Structure 1
Amino acid sequence: MSAEELDLDDLERRMKGAVSVLKTELSGLRTGRASMALLDPITVEAYGQTMPINQVGTVSVPEPRMLSIQVWDKGMVGAVEKAIRESNIGINPVTDGQLLRLPIPELNQERRQEMVKIAHSYAENAKVSVRHVRRDGMDMCKKAEKDGMSEDDVRLYNDEIQELTNKYVAEIDTMASSKEAEIMQV
């Protein structure tokens, strides 16, 4: 394996992927404030198939503790309401014609600590993913050394891979601590 085949850009792209998955997971955690990302994992049985809520109505955040969904088809209001109730996100919709209001209840201290644990587990999963990418890169370096790459080049690549790993692990830690602060804010 030659130096050209050790693709650091590919390793970095894979590490960025782990970080973007973490961002998505953290955005779905409820913090006591209304966020449209809360509804992202919820799907509605509509027209013989399952669809995300944002494809059957307009989702908005009119107040800091309120989400609203303006359902486009009057016949879909019941299905959207049922999907929200069955999603176990702890929100009970209030129906007003084709408009669903979702009041976000305050989080108690016990629930906040539970959310922080979940956020930390998401962060740890992302770190594990980044470390797996690092391991793959290190394996490629070992293979390249067997194929004739100099020890100095191998050491240089190993150092660059470790720097990438440290950079993304630090970014993950920063995201987790800011999410923790957001969750614990009363």
Structure 2
Amino acid sequence: MSLPRICSASSRLRLIAPARRPAIAISAQRRCYASKRKAEKEVKDGKGKHTHVVLTDTLVPGSQQKLAGEEYHRTEEKMKGLVERFRKDVAGMEMRASGRVTPEVLTPVRVTVPGHKGGDGLAHRLEELATVGVREGTTLLVTVFDEHTLKFVETAILDAKIQGVMPQRLDTRTLKIPMPKATVEARNNMVTAAQRQAEEVRQLVRKQHTASIKKGNYKKHAPELDEFQSLTNQYLAEIDKTVSDIKKSAGGK
């Protein structure tokens, strides 16, 4: 005869509890999987906390950003190039007026040689076709690499209209250029030439400004117009300063 099984309340709890634990574990596991799937979705959608890294050193401050965008920067580069060439030309004028004889006196010269390196009408810097030296501190010697280019180099030097520069042929490959001594007249001519060239550069800067505005097709009173005007004023002011400096170096006010 079997004896009846007697279970206390505490025994029943121990028997029931193990049956409930797996349900709790499964529920927690499901939440874990759900959180993981949500995190993966956020990463895929670009909403996760660590989806990308932003390098602050590549960011442009808002105060420096231009509404006109790339067109503004293209215009700036073109205007900057015009003003820098003007400064170099003025520096050459000043050097010539001071009486210093250096090869840089002929920097403005551009030589066109028909059929040379790719076709007619291609202008070359003088140093591409010849060497320029100084003899006895008073004379420039230009020696071309090829004899047939001598006449084109001579013509280019004359066309450059450099004050006091008058080439003379020594032989089939060499030009001699005696340099004049510095005089008050030479300095005055330098200032006049610089002012004339400055006005030409101002016109080119304004022309570039007009072309950029037309290309952007901006509405009246658009903020981009103010950006381009400020840029134009900046480079016009630099031209004026260069002229003012050359006047002072020539002894003017």
TM range (shorter): 0.5 to 0.7
Q: Which residue of 1 aligns with 2:219?
A: 145
Q: Which residue of 1 aligns with 2:29?
A: none
Q: 2:236 aligns with which of 161, 166, 169?
A: 169
Structure with more of its chain in strand, by fraction: 1
Question: Relative to 1, partners in 2 of residues 1:54 and 1:169: Cα closer, same or farther, differing over 3 Å?
Answer: same
Range 77-86 or range 109-118, more displaced: 77-86
Task: Confirm or deny: 8 A CA contact 2:113 2:149 kept in the other structure.
Answer: no
Q: What is the identity percentage for the equivalent residue pairs of Structure 1 and Structure 2?
A: 26
SS of alignment partner, residue 145 of structure 1: coil
Question: Relative to 1, partners in 2 of residues 1:43 and 1:11: Cα closer, same or farther, differing over 3 Å?
Answer: closer
In the aligned structure 2, how far is the partner of 1:15 from the partner of 1:28?
Answer: 20
**Structure 2: any 5+ residue segments left out of the alignment?**
1-66
Question: Relative to 1, partners in 2 of residues 1:135 and 1:176: Cα closer, same or farther, differing over 3 Å?
Answer: same
Deviations 1:72-105 (A, max 9, x none): 56x6798599658856643455849977653321
In the aligned structure 2, how far is the partner of 1:94 from the partner of 1:171?
Answer: 40
The amino acid across from 2:199 in the alignment is E
Matched, 1:41 2:109: yes
Instruction: Normalising by structure 1, report the TM-score.
Output: 0.63
Range 40-49 or range 107-116, more displaced: 40-49
Q: 2:192 aligns with which of 111, 114, 117?
A: 117
Task: Confirm or deny: 8 A CA contact 1:81 1:100 kept in the other structure.
Answer: no
Instruction: Normalising by structure 2, report the TM-score.
Output: 0.50
> Displacement of 1:19 after TM fit?
1.3
Q: 2:81 aligns with which of 17, 23, 32?
A: 17
In the aligned structure 2, how far is the partner of 1:171 from the partner of 1:64?
Answer: 34
In the aligned structure 2, how far is the partner of 1:140 from the partner of 1:26?
Answer: 32
Matched, 1:68 2:141: yes
Deviations 1:144-165 (A, max 9, x none): 327xxxx6xx23x222222211
In the aligned structure 2, how far is the partner of 1:139 from the partner of 1:81?
Answer: 40
CA RMSD of aligned residues (A): 4.1
Task: Confirm or deny: 8 A CA contact 1:44 1:52 kept in the other structure.
Answer: no
> Displacement of 1:126 after TM fit?
1.0
Count of residue pairs the alignment pairs up: 173
Q: Extract structure 1 runs of 4+ deviating beyond 6 A.
A: 44-51, 96-99
The amino acid across from 1:7 in the alignment is E
> Displacement of 1:131 after TM fit?
1.8
When Rg is computed on C-alpha atoms for both structures, the one with the higher figure is 2
Question: Relative to 1, partners in 2 of residues 1:4 and 1:71: Cα closer, same or farther, differing over 3 Å?
Answer: closer
In the aligned structure 1, how far is the partner of 2:248 from the partner of 2:126?
Answer: 29
SS of alignment partner, residue 201 of structure 2: helix
SS of alignment partner, residue 7 of structure 1: helix
Task: Confirm or deny: 8 A CA contact 2:75 2:212 kept in the other structure.
Answer: yes
- Highest RCO, 1 vs 2 (Cα 8 Å, sep ≥ 6): 1
